[in-house]
Structure 1
């Protein structure tokens, strides 16, 4: 296989006739949450897209984009939207419980330990190292989520992405104001491309 070629994605299983069970949703999101040191997004994408093949990369990006515009933490929103998609409200609650429950118990225990040993210098240096690893995990998730844009060679998508990054990350503009401008532009660009290609 040439080095620049991209292997075709395996076909997704028919989830409409055999959706994941409520228990499977709970266990999958519990595993994500307990693996997700530095953030769950990386592990959520890996489990949903690569491991279980419950969504394509594009579907995951679209669902996660929707969750950005809902109030609350993005990955928590993703668990509710994703679980509800397959098992209704019960599935959403199961995915949410799996995502939030186990880490809450773990963090409560760690908080009790930290209250006694939090001033130890070695521990503080270790936490700095963990934050560096978290940044690396987030960067890897961003790169993998850009794969559908790379496959499509979506230049306009890259322009919008770069503009939003510059507005929020470099110029420090408020997120709501940037989204109020970026969302209509993104929708208009997507609509125009769809009309032009059809």
Structure 2
């Protein structure tokens, strides 16, 4: 249930929503903030839509959160929404980052600064883990999907195989299984009067 469902998004509200995420999500974990903002708070997307967009964003080359921003913007407001979302997630934080980088060069030797940054990083990892677990629970429906999820995790985490090789093998396998499932569902629907 949304915390505060907004009306339909506008280019302005989309820009400010992405700017807010970009400016308040320190240390990473932006996809978790996006899930909370666009699915749980504003109800502009369903969880299913968001997780599908997240999967696509991770499959495309480039920065995942920028890809996800472009996808969300496009889903909500077309091409203009994609541009506005990308600008919102990138430009305001970039200005702040450049400013803070110049300040940090003056306080880099202060131990307290590094402690604060470590705390922020820990919170960001927790947020990313929460989003990853949601995606895993969503993806692990059925034994074949669960097996692909576990095999991919084991190949990268335990066996430390190269990511490109793992994705190169598992993605086509996963796509083939999904295609077969969709085809079987369509055939079942077609045969039902």
Alpha carbons 1:36, 1:43 under 8 Å: kept: yes
Of the candidates 112, 126, 129, which is equivalent to residue 116 of structure 2?
Answer: 126
Match of 1:141 in 2: 131
Q: For 1:163, what is the secondary structure of its paired residue?
A: helix
Match of 2:191 in 1: none
| TM-fit CA distance, 1:128 | 2.1
Sort the Cα spacing of 1:93 and 1:195 in 2 relative to 1 into closer, same or farther, 3 A.
closer
Higher helix share: 2
Match of 1:67 in 2: 57
| TM-fit CA distance, 1:20 | 2.0
Alpha carbons 2:136, 2:149 under 8 Å: kept: no
Give a deviation string over 1:28-48, Cα, whole Å, max 9, x none: 111211221232111101111
Q: For 1:146, what is the secondary structure of its paired residue?
A: helix
Match of 2:14 in 1: 25
Q: For 2:170, what is the secondary structure of its paired residue?
A: helix
How many matched pairs? 182
Q: For 1:88, what is the secondary structure of its paired residue?
A: helix
Distance 1:63 1:23 in 2: 22
Of the candidates 99, 104, 109, which is equivalent to residue 109 of structure 1?
Answer: 99
TM-score (norm 1): 0.82
> Mind listing any 5+ residue stretches in structure 2 that lack a counterpart?
189-193
Alpha carbons 1:30, 1:102 under 8 Å: kept: yes
Match of 1:5 in 2: none
Does residue 89 (structure 1) correspond to residue 79 (structure 2)? The answer is: yes
Give a deviation string over 1:61-94, Cα, whole Å, max 9, x none: 1111111121111110011122122322221111
Of the candidates 144, 153, 161, which is equivalent to residue 173 of structure 1?
Answer: 161
